[in-house]
Amino acid sequence: MTQDIALTVENLKVYFGGKRGLLPGRSNTVHAVDGLSFEIPAGTTFGIVGESGSGKSTTALAIMRLVHITEGNVTLKNTTISALEGEELRAARSRFQIVFQDPYSSLDPRKRARSIVREPLDLMNIGTKADRNAHVAELFRQVGLRPEQQALFPHQFSGGQRQRLGLARALSTRPELIVCDEPVSALDVAIQAQILNLMCDLQKELGLTYLFISHDLGVIQHICDTVAVMYLGEIVELADRQSLFANPRHPYTKALLNAVPSVKSSQRSSKGRTRLKGDPPSPINLPKGCRFASRCPQAEPQCSQFSPPLSERTNGHKVACFLAQ
């Protein structure tokens, strides 16, 4: 039985700038996202992980139509949302919502919690006032907030409670897709676990589809079904969670996993481990060939001359590396 596809991203590109630089022949175009393609089956969680500056959050903002898409298509079910403009885009926004990284700055400090959660319903004129109020009460219950907390202002909530409020707001329009941009990175570890478990419970209860952005591999491993590893605007490895963490193929993925702190790290041998050295190349002046070649301890001459395609190796496990088995 074929699983329905909630989101399809095809050759997504997001470039910033574009004016000529100070030197002749130089451009200052930033290649933030450079040719991403992937699908998210309905009811699953698709994770994107990578270093800061890899293009993760820009990908999220592009899918949400919050930054200009230079090229490519983003399709939600049967609607190409990357082609929508004006009133059509505004009407479609109820179908895809976002949970931001900072639960405090993303909430209006002048509004009470009930108004914050109800705001998308008011803006899109969904249901009667009584229906909206009843829906808000149900959302508070679903995310684990008490009824009397509807009257509070954002500063009266803890960090974890504010993120629950952000989740309730995202759920208010019953979206087909929720984009989560580093939703737990501003929280302590114990609260992170509570929010992640809540998101998993809501997914089971409501059949939600998540696009989950994070730099934290532990969080990605906990919540995601499929994982894409991004480096300098491109996907370098794409696989289901179990396959990627048990058998990483790309040197960059291996380096990210080896960089995760562990209580057993002092007992592990450093022999054969891939370590990250130096900084990524500039997204303005991209190198020829593989973008990771300058930092890769296994790089060969061909790596700096030719760009490896993202190709399937086994059972849907895709890698962009000439040396990967």
Residue 10's DSSP bridge partners are: 73
Give the dihedral sign, CA 44/177/4/233.
negative
> What pLDDT score does 21 carry?
53
- Show the low-confidence residues of the chain (pLDDT under 70): 1-2, 18-26, 262-274
Q: Is 72:13 a contact under the CB 8 Å cutoff?
A: yes
What is the token pair recorded at 293? Answer: 């070649």
Distance between alpha carbon 170 and the CA centroid of its chain, in Å? 15
> What pLDDT score does 264 carry?
54
Instruction: State the residue for tokens 């009266």.
Output: 156
- Cβ burial 17-42 (10 Å sphere, 16+ → b, else e): eeeeeeeeeeeebbbbbbebebebbe
> What pLDDT score does 259 carry?
82
* Dist CA 109 CA 155 (whole Å): 7
State pTM to two decimals. Answer: 0.91
Task: Please name the residues in contact with 235: beta carbons below 8 A apart, sequence gap of 6 or more.
Answer: 36, 37, 38, 228, 229, 310, 318, 320
CA atoms within 13 A on the CB side of 219: 27
Closest CA to 256 of 240, 285, 284, 236: 236
Q: Is 21:75 a contact under the CB 8 Å cutoff?
A: no
> What pLDDT score does 278 carry?
79
Closest CA to 284 of 17, 49, 62, 67: 17
Instruction: State the residue for tokens 């296994």.
Output: 298
* Dist CA 76 CA 85 (whole Å): 15
Model pLDDT for residues 34-77, shown as the tens digit of each residue: 999 999 999 999 999 999 889 999 999 999 999 999 999 999 99
User: DSSP label at 157?
Assistant: S
Model pLDDT for residues 93-102, shown as the tens digit of each residue: 999 999 998 8
